[in-house]
Amino acid sequence: MAYSVLIVEDEQAISRVLDLKLKQLGVATMLASDGVSALELIKSQTFDCILLDLILPGIDGFNILEEIRKKDKNMKVIVMTNLGQPEDRARVQKLGVTGYFVKSETPVTRLIEEVKNALET
């Protein structure tokens, strides 16, 4: 059975790359480009892993993560953001995440590897 991954990212040029890369791995993907639609998908479906951006239109990534944790404490969430400050990391890590990546500093292959690891463990 194929793994399913939700990509929460408002920048289409970025989410498209992730989508392509994950599909190449045979992973089923869903895309959400804003906080509200992301929450709707999370409530209605189950995913093996969520790739989450923090700055989003509407509801931001921090709130989405809080909502996810209310529902499921073990959901694998990998945060990919351009907020790289320690306080942002600390805030996210308090809520529990599988990984935290600053997008501009991370090659996409590195991120995909991380998703693969998360899915396989």
User: Contact residues for other proteins (CB under 8 A)?
Assistant: 11, 13-14, 17-18, 20-21, 55, 82-87, 89-90, 102-105, 107-109
Shortest CB 19 distance to other proteins, Å: 11
Shortest CB 108 distance to other proteins, Å: 4
Nearer to other proteins, 83 or 118 (CB): 83
Nearer to other proteins, 30 or 102 (CB): 102
CB 42 within 8 A of CB 108: no
Nearer to other proteins, 67 or 116 (CB): 116
- Which spans in 25-83 are helix H? 35-44, 61-71
Calpha distance 89→87 (Å, rounded): 5
Shortest CB 22 distance to other proteins, Å: 12
Q: Could you report how far apart the first and last alpha carbons of the chain are, in Å?
A: 15
What percent of the chain is helix, strand and coil (3-state, nearest 5)?
Answer: 50, 20, 30
Shortest CB 66 distance to other proteins, Å: 19
